Amino acid sequence: MNAKIYAVRVSFRMFVKQIAGDAMLAVVFAAPFLAGSVFRFLVPFLAERFAFTPRIAPFYQLFDVFLCILTPYMCCFASAMIMLGELDDHVTSAFFVSPLGRDGYLVSRLFIPTLIGAAGTVLIFSLFHLTPASLGTRVTLALLTACSACISALLTVAFARNRVEGMALAKLSGIMMLGALVPYVLNGRASLYFAFLPPLWISRFMQSGHASDALACLAVSAVWMSVLYRSFMRRWR
């Protein structure tokens, strides 16, 4: 057990060094701060400047949802790119036969970055939110959006064959984020046609604050992650 934990720690340090050495991925982590600045300061300024506030104010909550989703998504995107880069370099097999193993590799490359993304969500939301939310709501949002981001990363690494395909698939999987729009544009049961998208439940939770919506998001996310995890394990041998 101690050897496994040590291997995960070493692997994660390697991951951080790779991020620091890749300018594109390093810049990715600035995206939530840039988006947060735009949402928090520029959007209200333009709305007031052009007298759009009454029309756009009801969607301020949606801006907050997208900001919360974006933060862990960027962390998981970086993770997926590092993993696919290692696949291109044919070094993953060496990790798998080491004390790290496939599970430890996934923990160091995806699980820990996802947790960091969740913590970042609380920070980013606290700095740039447009609508009020309790600490409990912020923590819950961080958990839900982290699950959604993890799904996107697993989808990318489970099916992309190289880093180039991974970038394209990551953009495609990012379309799932649009599920957050649904509760704001469709009323009633019509929105449930998109119930398989976790971001839909994130928006519903943001609107209602009901634990049932958060639990639904976790349940849908668990199904996605279970299927994609098995696909990952079959492919990455």
Report CA dihedral (82, 83, 84, 86) to the nearest 10 degrees: 90
Alpha-helical (H) ranges within 22-174 are 23-28, 31-37, 43-49, 53-56, 60-88, 92-96, 101-106, 112-128, 135-159, 163-173
The one-letter amino acid code at 34 reads L
**pLDDT, tens only, 76-128:** 999 999 999 988 888 888 888 888 888 899 999 999 999 999 999 999 999 99
**Quick one: how far is CA 226 from the chain centroid?**
16
Q: How would you label 5-15 residue by residue, b for 16+ Cβ within 10 Å and e otherwise?
A: eebbeebbeeb
Helices 112-128 and 60-88: crossing angle, nearest 10°?
Answer: 150
**pLDDT, tens only, 181-232:** 999 988 778 888 999 999 999 999 999 999 999 999 999 999 999 999 999 8
